[in-house]
Amino acid sequence: MDKYSTYQTEDFLKDESFINWVLDPEGAGNQAWTTWMNSGPATKEAAQKAIEIIRTLDFKKEAVAGDFYGGLKQRIDHTIAMGQTVPAKRRTIQLSWLKAAAAIAGLILLGWVFFNRKPSYTYFSTPYAAIKTVWLPDSTEVVLNANSSVRYNKNRLNNTREVLITGEAFFKVRHVDINGKAQAFKVYAGNTEIEVLGTEFNVRSTHEATAVMLRAGKVRFSITGSDAEKIMQPNDYCFYNKAQGTISTRTADPVMFTSWMEHKYRFENATIKEVCETLKAYFGYDFILRNDALNTQTVSGTLELQNEQVMWQVLSELFNAKVAKQGNQVVIQ
């Protein structure tokens, strides 16, 4: 790094690797500068000045309301979902031979038929740390927890009520009768299916498992491509684990599983690992447990999610451990 011994402040200000180091001293490949500075170079003062100037160039952030980003994302999701009914490509065909024309016309017709059969989905989603209520066209209410989505085919919703969810959602399904016959409502979560006839329940779906808590009414919980199924009664809690391929059922208090709608999580004899997984699903942070004893420890309590600062304090008291959040990582020890 010889050339830097003749650098002036302005030269440092124009040096890309120098700027990168000031912006991110820990970044990969940037440590060489730390070494250089510590070696007491003749131009250290000039470099120091450049550092100060760059650090001062921290600009004002315009105030943007917290729900702006979620609202905008929903608008984007909506436009994209609607856009699927618009032909993606316009074909221009020059016809010289009748034969070719006929063949191409046949192809286009096929393509057109295929295209029009493509379902058009409406999509709602939530970012991390946000909860939202949406209403489906049949007036069914869906409350989405953080980082979750619900999708339905808007052309078909009138005759078969089917929705796909990811993440966690609470449903208040409206009972619909057509000619005296109750219309089914189906929720698909992962490879599980929940069939209902007007009821209130909570679904939580991850890569490995799906859990359903029924508050009122009656649902059938089944696994696609398997005989496993369970007719659920109010206060039943069903848990399906993909790896085991079985449904386990127990009775539980629905309040424990639906408190997230009031921006709270309630835990009763939950392991710290379970608590961390729940918070990971909500906030998107990675949790690192530095102490093995914490793994098996169980806790009970309520966490308010809206004030993160307070939440980390409560968590630390609940776990009786140190909770430190750095960027996207939460370290517990």
Partner 1 sequence: MTRTPFDSHTAQEDRSLIIQIRSDDYAAFTLLYNKYIRQLTQYGLKFIPDLPAVEDCLHDVFVWLWTNRHKLQIHSSVKSYLFKSVRTTILHLLQKQQRLQSLNADDGPGYRFELELTPESLVEQNESQRQLRQQIENVLQKLTAKQKEVIYLRYYEGLNFEDIARNMNLSVKACYKLMGRAIATLKESIPGVLSIGILLMYCR
In the complex, the residues that contact partner 1 under the rule CB under 8 A are: 8-10, 13-14, 16, 19-20, 23-24, 27-29, 42-49, 52-62, 64, 68-69, 72-73, 75-76, 79-80, 83, 88, 123, 125, 127-128, 166
Given the complex with partner 1, which of 62 and 292 has the nearer CB atom? 62
CA dihedral 291, 296, 299, 305 (to 10 degrees): 60
Given the complex with partner 1, which of 19 and 289 has the nearer CB atom? 19
Given the complex with partner 1, which of 31 and 302 has the nearer CB atom? 31
Instruction: Please report how many Cα atoms fall inside a 13 Å half-sphere around the Cα of residue 318, on the Cβ side.
Output: 25
Given the complex with partner 1, which of 60 and 99 has the nearer CB atom? 60
Given the complex with partner 1, which of 112 and 128 has the nearer CB atom? 128
Least distance in angstroms from the C-beta of 305 to partner 1: 17
CB contact at 8 A, 122 and 152: yes
Question: Which among 149, 127, 6 has a CA at the least distance from the CA of 70?
Answer: 127
Say how far apart CA 157 and CA 186 lie, in whole Å: 11
Question: Which among 213, 179, 221 has a CA at the least distance from the CA of 196?
Answer: 221
| Token output for 185 | 């409502």
| Token output for 89 | 């490509």
> Which helix (H) or strand (E) segment is 200 a member of?
strand 200-205
Least distance in angstroms from the C-beta of 34 to partner 1: 15
State phi, psi for 86 to the nearest 5 degrees: -90, 130
Least distance in angstroms from the C-beta of 9 to partner 1: 5
Given the complex with partner 1, which of 20 and 271 has the nearer CB atom? 20
Least distance in angstroms from the C-beta of 127 to partner 1: 5
Q: Find all residues with CB under 8 Å of 8, minimum gap 6, and list them.
A: 43, 46
Least distance in angstroms from the C-beta of 18 to partner 1: 11
Least distance in angstroms from the C-beta of 76 to partner 1: 5
